[in-house]
């Protein structure tokens, strides 16, 4: 019984990550964003009921559909139980929407459209860009506060305050999802792209989850980005460049983790596992993204990913270093600076890279200590071990910890 309960809980955890944001999008489309807490409560109740019911009666044949049905019924009960429908919503719903059962459905097409529409909706200029992204990541992408904090490289309290202010603003303005003008879509697109970028990054390298790679998040981000390229209003150079980046990075997902779940470093990856079809799609979208004169961070990161996907070139690290030099000028970030230092080591040697890295002073960043550990391996094993130990203290994800433990053990021998 204990084993069965563990499997049920594991399944519910997977379903929560995959379906919670989609269910939220559909319910918020029905209620309006000002009632977002109601939608979240209804969905949470559906998952709670699943944990209790499945433990006794077993998992249904289609668990996701079961959750959607329960959430839909709870929403209808809520509308009947209190006068919310008559007093706040009825006037905003067309007569055919009140009668049509399918309008409150959870079909896959409706979910996809609702989710993308909701991301644009919560990226409301009434909130700061960072607050918009935080709200989108929590409500529609299912991120925890800790995951959002890691994405922004900031602390939990800052993120909690941003989320509170963003939700309050939307609630007080009685915000409704409505068709956006072309100008509104264009003004919100940069924030939407940033949201999808962070969604993919959490899937590609999770710092808080026991799974190093969360394929469902990468797939979701790629699906939504592809939808943007299919719409003339959002199909621009940045969108194509972002999708190219996702294709290149996504091509190596299968090779990045061993069967045991441990991370496989780039140099040790089995290139036969790389998805060549995705690499070709990355080439296609990157070429099309470069038709004009625009150069965004997504262009530069996609170009860097291109060279990683084509490792046979003898000059690739010089190209990568030049691209990181440009990227830091366009949009500086600690991660970009650390990645540049790694490329510097491959071009000019570890000694110069150590000097550049230590100037950054990112002592509270696990990636900083991982890089210094790697750079000191060839000159000072003791310092390398010290930095790997500091990185281990700052790392939360189990797969990443296992890699560091192996490094320390090997160096000690």
221 close to 193: Cβ distance less than 8 angstroms:
no
Q: What is the mean pLDDT of the chain?
A: 83
Q: Burial, 8: exposed, middle or buried (Cβ in 10 Å; 0-12, 13-18, 19+)?
A: middle
Nearest C-alpha neighbor of 27 from the set 81, 99, 83, 76: 76
**Which is higher by pLDDT, 8 or 185?**
185
Identify how many contiguous H helices and E strands the chain contains and give both numbers. Answer: 20, 0
**Which is higher by pLDDT, 412 or 126?**
412
- The CA distance from 242 to 180, in Å, is 23
The neighbour count for residue 150, using CB atoms within 10 Å, is 21
Q: What is the mean pLDDT of residues 280-286?
A: 97
Q: What is the mean pLDDT of residues 279-287?
A: 97
Does this model's pTM top 0.95?
Answer: no
- The CA distance from 150 to 154, in Å, is 6
- Residue 187, Cα to own-chain centre: how many angstroms? 22
Q: How many residues does this entry show for the chain?
A: 413
Q: Which residues does residue 257 pair with via DSSP β-bridges, in sequence order? A: 263
Q: What is the mean pLDDT of residues 262-271?
A: 83
The neighbour count for residue 233, using CB atoms within 10 Å, is 14
Three-state secondary structure call for residue 244: helix
352-367 per-position pLDDT tens digit: 999 999 999 999 999 9
* Structure tokens, 319: 């190209």
- Give the chain's domains with CATH numbers: 327-413 (1.25.40.10)
- Our CA dihedral for 183, 297, 166, 162, rounded to 10 degrees, sits at -160
389 close to 359: Cβ distance less than 8 angstroms:
no
Three-state secondary structure call for residue 226: helix
* Residue showing tokens 């003339």: 232
Q: What is the mean pLDDT of residues 376-386?
A: 95
Residues 6+ apart with CB under 8 A from 405: 392
The neighbour count for residue 332, using CB atoms within 10 Å, is 9
DSSP conformation letters of 144-211: -HHHHHHHHT--HHHHHHHHHHHHHHHHHTT----PPPHHHHHHHHHHHHHHHHHHHHHHHS-SSSSS
32-67 per-position pLDDT tens digit: 655 667 777 888 888 888 888 888 888 888 888 888
């Amino acid at each position: 019984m204990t084993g069965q309960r563990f499997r049920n809980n594991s399944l519910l955890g997977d379903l929560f990550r995959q379906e919670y944001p989609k269910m939220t999008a559909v319910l918020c489309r029905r209620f309006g964003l000002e009632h977002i807490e109601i939608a979240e409560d209804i969905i949470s109740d559906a998952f709670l009921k699943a944990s209790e019911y499945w433990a006794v009666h077993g998992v249904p044949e289609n668990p996701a559909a079961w959750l959607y049905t329960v959430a839909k019924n709870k929403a209808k009960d809520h509308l009947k139980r209190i006068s919310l429908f008559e007093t706040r919503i009825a006037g905003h719903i067309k007569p055919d929407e009140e009668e049509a059962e399918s309008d409150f459905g959870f079909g896959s097409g409706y979910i996809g459209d609702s989710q993308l529409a909701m991301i644009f909706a919560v990226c409301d200029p009434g909130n700061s860009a960072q607050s918009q992204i935080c709200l989108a990541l929590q409500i529609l992408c299912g991120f925890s506060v800790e995951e959002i904090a890691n994405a922004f490289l900031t602390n939990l309290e800052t993120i909690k305050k941003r989320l509170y202010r963003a939700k309050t603003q939307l609630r007080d303005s009685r915000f409704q999802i409505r068709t956006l003008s072309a100008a509104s879509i264009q003004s919100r697109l940069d924030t939407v792209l940033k949201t999808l970028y962070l969604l993919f990054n959490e899937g590609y390298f999770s710092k808080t989850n026991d799974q190093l790679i969360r394929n469902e998040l990468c797939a979701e981000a790629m699906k939504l980005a592809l939808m943007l390229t299919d719409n003339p209003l959002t199909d621009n150079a940045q969108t194509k460049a972002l999708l190219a980046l996702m294709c290149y990075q996504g091509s190596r997902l299968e090779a990045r983790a061993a069967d045991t779940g441990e991370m496989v470093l780039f140099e040790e990856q089995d290139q036969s596992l790389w998805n060549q079809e995705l690499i070709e799609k990355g080439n296609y979208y990157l070429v099309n993204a470069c038709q004009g004169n625009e150069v965004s961070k997504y262009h530069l990161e996609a170009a860097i990913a291109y060279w990683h996907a084509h490792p046979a070139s003898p000059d690739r690290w010089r190209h990568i270093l030049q691209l990181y030099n440009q990227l830091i000028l366009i949009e500086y970030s600690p991660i970009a600076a650390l990645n540049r230092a790694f490329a510097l080591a491959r071009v000019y040697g570890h000694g110069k890279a150590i000097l550049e890295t230590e100037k950054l002073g990112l002592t509270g960043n696990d990636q900083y200590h991982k890089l210094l550990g790697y750079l000191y391996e060839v000159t000072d094993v003791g310092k390398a071990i010290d930095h790997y130990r500091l990185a281990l203290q700052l790392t939360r994800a189990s797969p990443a910890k296992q890699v560091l433990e192996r490094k320390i053990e090997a160096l000690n021998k």
